[in-house]
Chains A and B, each alone.
Chain A
Amino acid sequence: MNSAQCGLLAVMLLTIVGAPGQAQAPGSKGNSSPPAQTQESQRALRTREFLGLGRQPDPELASDGQKIFGPTCGFCHGADGRGGQGPDLLRSSVVLDDDKGELIGPVIQNGRPNKGMPAFSSLTEEKVRAIAEFLHMQVELAANRGTYQVQNIVTGNAQAGEAYFKGEGKCTTCHSVSGDLAHIGSKLTPADLQAAELYPDTRGNEFGGTQRPRQVSVTLADGKKFTGSLKHLDDFYVSLEDAQGEYHSIAIAKGVKVVVEDKLVFHRQMLDKYSDKQIHDLTAYLVTLK
């Protein structure tokens, strides 16, 4: 890799830094950008719609319900309703067919004496409704994978990460913590940082890949050459926009040579070399670059 390529790589990384939302992992918490919250709830909504789950549960009511469910029902059904001595309620058709307590309510109030469940007839209608909402929220949090939150991924050793960055990882060949990577730890979430350290262009990410202009040069059989930013490429055609803003679409016939600038070749070569520990250490180091 020559220095010009390294420069391009730095530009590339900065482009990603400029658009953190694009590299958002499912469930990752956008601690630096408020719009990520909206994106997150949109993802939850989209996933709910796709899965054909019911309405969105009310978090406040569910939280009220949790306070009643724990001491009243948790002994048998587990504090989270996932079952214990009593059945798992997240996969109960009474719960899944219920909307606002109309099916769950009678079971709570009348019990199931033949199955050893006592009646809780003293619970008010409001309390029963809150318990039902708590259970719907538990179903939501398990079934709707659009709500999943990535947990603490910063488990590595930052010092070891720094050593890897400067040594075996050869990151300093192209990157500098005071240059292109300055403040990277406050620009990206740890999860985004972890993905970006492995491969900055998360192509194929169902939540949106990064678009970037790539330089391409096309040489025809007669030696005529076109260069510019790549618009499209497949096995049959390549198209580009040259420096004058002219669009060219060229059939890839015999003798036509297409060379696409590859800024990430070193990242790809490294993909076969990482251990999980090195990845976690590197993440731990990069998040310290606030």
Chain B
Amino acid sequence: MKSRALMLVLSLLVLLQGASVAQLLDPHKLLEAEPTDTWPTYNGDYSGRRFSPLTQIHSSNVSALALAWMYRVKVSGPMRGVSAPVIKSTPLMVKGILYFTVPDRVFAVDARTGRELWHYEWADKGGHLVGNRGVGMYGDWLYFLAPDGWFISLEARSGKERWRKKVADEKMQYFTTMAPMVVGHHIMVGVGGDAIDVPGYLEARDPETGELQWRWNTEPREGEPGSETWPNQAAMEHGGGMTWLPGTYDKDLNLLYWGTGNPNSVMAGQGRKGANLWTCAIVALNPDTGKLVWYFQGSPHDTHDWDNVETPVLFDATLDGKPRKLLAQAARNGYFFVLDRTDGKNILSQPFVPLNWSKGVDAKGQPIPDESKEPTVDGSFLTENWGGGTNWMPPSFSPRTGLFYVNATLGYSLVYLTDTKERPEGYGGFGRPLWSQHVLEAIDYRTGNVKWSHAYTTADGMPEGLGGPGVLTTAGNLLFTGDYNGNLIAFNAIDGDILWHFPALHSLSNGPETYMLDGQQYLVAGAGDTLYVFRLAPRRP
């Protein structure tokens, strides 16, 4: 009892001390919808909408948008396995400082001038340098995932490392790229990896110590509910269902929404007959316990490497005269889903790109895969882009227009099986892209119909690396995104007219963001190794 009392006094002292200097980011800020003076988390707020109520920049003056500054990431030495650093992170903007990442690096940059304040460098011992989505922030602390499974906390003021915890084994081919997500007193940490067949999981860790609070496994263990969707324990242990993109959160329902990746072996499904829960699903978890509340499986028994991790976007609307709490996702498999986020019940499932891998949907609204469109030794022909209808790049939902915006890809591909064994391991196959076309789509969530779309004009659209342009919408009737030719573009969110563009050195590779600073609205976009920051050109007398 004595020691407990002492602990209480100590914690009070710590609290008081903490109070003497204002925290950089009050954790309550994270609960605010659509904050405008801060960009405190990967998606800007917990809804995943990437919609800003700011109107200083609007459809009538956006043509006066001008570059304020640029910051180019410099890294010493080559980045293993990738040609150059690409900014896929969405910077956090807190008290005039931007915090963002590339694999193995964290940067703090003055949001007014672009001057670097500090950077943190990590020497990895493995893992994929495919991307890094950014940092999470709690009070004065930042959280970063190094590619080789290290969960690292930094002091935001100095970039000094506080501690590091191992959360995944890179030798087992796990890799870690997501922006840690702060929910209450939990830091959510997800993992990637599918070169060797390993099971996925999502962890909650303590913001002070980094210690594990809970771990939710994306596959059941033997005898648990869900195990009936796997043929045997060995198949279940091959797992998959990686958790490599940040989720979203509803504070009123206290539910955390997360997308899970494809099952393993990736393309050789013969060793895992069944739906393979909870891979390729949207799950609702209790953030305090990690307990599964409901699930909706977007791709039962996926065999096309189409992770279902795309952002589950939350918004409220009136459907058939009733107010509803909704969740919408444009999934990599090409389906647009709308669910009731209180219980996961399906409201709408409709393809947003042409596809032939599915025979329609079942009673629960889940797509029914066509077995004949699984990869085959001699090639199976898909009327869908090999990389999927979209990928990780953030979509946006505007409550002003009621439209869900996503950068989609139309295409055709051949998928081959290379591992025909009863117990396949690894990818077990490959896909070969044929023709493809990038298209920005504005989807009406009530019908699933595309209200307007813009097919990006191109001569030979070779997508740059694995980057992809995200989307931001604002109350100024604007939609910011980019094409695959290096142009940052502002569209009219209502009708898709192009209002402004800026030729950058590389194509947009992150989700753009906006905020107010010193009374001016800023737009921030990461393209390749460079961060571009815009505001309206100052008026000259």
The residues of A with any CB-CB pair to B shorter than 8 Å are 25-27, 46, 49-53, 78, 80, 82-83, 88, 90-91, 93, 96-97, 139, 141-145, 148-156, 191, 194-195, 198-199, 201-206, 209, 211, 214, 230-236, 260, 264, 267-268, 271-272, 274-276, 279-280, 283
Query: Nearest B residue to A264 by beta-carbon distance?
Result: B435
B430 in contact with A155 (CB, 8 Å): no
Classify the secondary structure of B's interface with A. Answer: loop
- Listed A/B pairs (21) with beta-carbon separation below 8 Å: A50-B128, A52-B170, A83-B423, A91-B196, A91-B198, A145-B195, A148-B418, A152-B377, A195-B432, A204-B411, A205-B432, A209-B462, A233-B458, A234-B485, A235-B457, A235-B485, A264-B435, A271-B383, A274-B381, A276-B380, A279-B379
Q: B residues within 8 A CB of A154?
A: 378
Q: B residues within 8 A CB of A149?
A: 418
Q: A residues within 8 A CB of B372?
A: 276
With contact pairs A91-B197, A153-B379 given, residues A234 and B487 touching in the complex (Cβ less than 8 Å): yes
Q: A residues within 8 A CB of B227?
A: none
Which residues B455-471 have CB closer than 8 A to chain A? 456-463
Classify the secondary structure of A's interface with B. Answer: loop
Shortest A158–chain B CB gap in Å is: 14
B171 in contact with A155 (CB, 8 Å): no
The A-B contact count (CB < 8 A) is 188
Q: B residues within 8 A CB of A268?
A: 435
Q: How far is the CA of A195 from the CA of B434 in the complex (A)?
A: 7
Q: How far is the CA of A83 from the CA of B82 in the complex (A)?
A: 34
A27 in contact with B430 (CB, 8 Å): yes
With contact pairs A25-B432, A51-B81, A268-B435 given, residues A155 and B377 touching in the complex (Cβ less than 8 Å): yes
B456 in contact with A234 (CB, 8 Å): yes
A236 in contact with B432 (CB, 8 Å): no
Q: B residues within 8 A CB of A203?
A: 433, 435-436, 460-462
Among A156, A204, A230, A271, the residue within 8 A (CB) of B462 is A204
Q: How far is the CA of A264 from the CA of B434 in the complex (A)?
A: 12
Q: How far is the CA of A143 from the CA of B430 in the complex (A)?
A: 13
Which residues B156-180 have CB closer than 8 A to chain A? 169-173, 175
Q: How far is the CA of A268 from the CA of B383 in the complex (A)?
A: 11
B420 in contact with A97 (CB, 8 Å): no
B45 at the interface (CB under 8 A from A): no
Q: B residues within 8 A CB of A199?
A: 412, 434-435
Query: Nearest A residue to B239 by beta-carbon distance?
Result: A91
Q: A residues within 8 A CB of B400?
A: none
Shortest B535–chain A CB gap in Å is: 22
B425 in contact with A82 (CB, 8 Å): yes
Most chain A CB atoms below 10 A, which of B383, B426, B461: B426
Shortest A249–chain B CB gap in Å is: 12
Q: How far is the CA of A205 from the CA of B411 in the complex (A)?
A: 12
Q: How far is the CA of A22 from the CA of B256 in the complex (A)?
A: 46
Q: How far is the CA of A260 from the CA of B172 in the complex (A)?
A: 49
B85 at the interface (CB under 8 A from A): no
Q: B residues within 8 A CB of A272?
A: 383
B115 at the interface (CB under 8 A from A): no
Q: B residues within 8 A CB of A142?
A: 196, 419, 425-426, 428
With contact pairs A96-B171, A234-B483, A234-B487 given, residues A204 and B126 touching in the complex (Cβ less than 8 Å): no
A148 in contact with B432 (CB, 8 Å): no
